[in-house]
Amino acid sequence: MSEFPLSRRSFLGAAGAAVAGAALTPQSAIAAPQILRRSLAAPIAISSDNGFRGVAKAVDLIIKGADTLDAGIEGVKIQELDPNDQSVGYGGLPNAEGVVQLDASCMHGPSKRAGAVGALEGIKTPSEIVRLIMKYTPHIMLVGKDAQRFALSYGYQIEELLTPASREAWLHWRANLSPSDNYLDVSGAEKMVVQSTTGTNPMMLLSPSGDLSSIVTTSGLSWKVPGRVGDSAIVGAGQYTDNTVGAAGSTGLGEANIMVCGGFLTVENMRRGMSPTDACLETCKHVMAMTPPRLIDERGRPRFQLQYYAVNKKGQYGAAAMTGSKYAVCDANGARHEDCAVLFPG
């Protein structure tokens, strides 16, 4: 009863007097009693394993009244600006020519709007650029040099995104690309990054009022063919939000995720009544059904990793991956890492 400013007896008495007064003076207005509604859910943010600091930052901002998308962007910017995170933004691993090209996209549940960039060069925080596209243009996606030109028109400066560590990793990859090329192989005793790697920082958020948003940012597949755009730039693949249902995002091999529109599919699974974890697992199963033989090993397992993360309107959350993986979550219990459900244990 503490939610109401009147006791039940005084409330009924006041209502009765109002009705009686209305009968005597039909022209007078009757003020409706004030009802304080409970919020739909506690604030929550979920992300990939590298988003631990980001989810904590985002939830703190939501508690202070920030919009879910604004909070999410401030969260993923931590990794975009961290030169030691080679999966996103500044310090991201480059393409085959040694150039860092960034992808990102976002969706804002309440306004039903989205923004995206593909193959963006020279801008550390593509998460901020996709918000500008969403807010100030009727478009959703800009790519390449024109995406960069758009960022410059809003006061951003072109910066070198390749750090010494990322450049060294690229040089090692190039030197060992082929035994018949014109480069000398790096000594096997040296620590090298040779195989292609994937890495991303997605975030899905829910406010106490029940509003949802999603954001994802990445430097994409390392050593990729220049101009390659992955799932993070594709609304409905790398991330997706329906403010009546939930939000979902992904990390891992972008091509496999694009083939199933994984972000959208996971939200649709929740729309059909699945929990976030089951929705993510179901999407993983669909990925396997769409995987070509060359990407499946002799045991029938994928030769790549793919993770999905989801939160629904009720504040339930979960994640699933092809093989063992962790993810970051922050809610009323604070920021922490949890284990993804797995499609292929062991």
Residue 20 shares a structural domain with residue 102: no
Helix (H, G, I), strand (E, B) or coil at 181: coil
Neighbouring C-beta atoms of residue 81, cutoff 10 Å: 14
Q: What is the pLDDT of residues 171-216, one digit of tens each?
A: 988 887 766 655 555 555 555 444 556 679 999 999 999 999 999 9
Identify whether residues 318 and 252 lie together within a single domain: yes
Query: Residue 18 pLDDT > 90, yes or no?
Result: no
68 shares its domain with 211 = yes
Same-domain check for residues 155 and 224 = yes
231 and 337 inside one domain: yes
The CATH number of whichever domain residue 91 belongs to comes to 3.60.20.30
Distance (Å, rounded) from C-alpha 163 to C-alpha 89?
11
Question: Which of these is catalytic: 200, 218, 251, 266?
Answer: 200
Report in angstroms the alpha-carbon separations of 222 from 77, 98, 130, 251, 254.
Answer: 20, 10, 22, 14, 12
| Average pLDDT of every residue of the chain | 88
With 90 as the cut, is the pLDDT of residue 40 above it? no
- Indicate the number of domains in the chain: 2
Res. 10: pLDDT tops 70: no
Q: Domain range spanning residue 31?
A: 1-37
Residue range 117-134, pLDDT digits in tens: 999 999 999 999 999 999
Quick one: 9 and 98 in the same domain?
A: no
Is the pLDDT assigned to residue 38 strictly greater than 50? no
Does 28 have pLDDT greater than 90?
no
pLDDT tens digits for range 231-255? 999 999 999 999 999 999 999 999 9
Per-residue pLDDT at 176: 78
Closest among 268, 261, 270, 255 to 239, alpha carbons compared: 261
- Cα separations (Å) of 292 from 148, 171, 282, 301? 35, 31, 18, 11
The per-residue pLDDT for 175 is: 85
Same domain, 202 and 267: yes
Residue 312 above 80 pLDDT? yes
**Lowest mean per-residue pLDDT among 22-31, 156-165, 183-192:** 22-31
pLDDT of residue 194: 46
Clarify whether 217 is annotated catalytic.
no
Digit-coded pLDDT (tens) for 45-102: 999 999 999 999 999 999 999 999 999 999 999 999 999 999 999 999 999 999 999 9
CB 199 within 8 A of CB 49: no
3-state secondary structure of 70: helix
Q: Are 242 and 301 part of one and the same domain?
A: yes
Q: Are residues 162 and 253 both part of a single domain?
A: yes
199 shares a domain with 73:
yes
Report how far residue 199's alpha carbon sits from residue 86's, in angstroms, rounded to the nearest whole number. Answer: 8
pLDDT above 50: residue 339:
yes
Residue 331 and residue 228 share a domain: yes
Q: Are residues 27 and 158 in the same domain?
A: no
Q: How confident is the model at residue 138 (pLDDT cuts 50, 70, 90)?
A: very high
| CA–CA gap between residue 117 and residue 119 (Å, rounded) | 7
Residue 19 confidence class, pLDDT cut points 50, 70, 90: very low
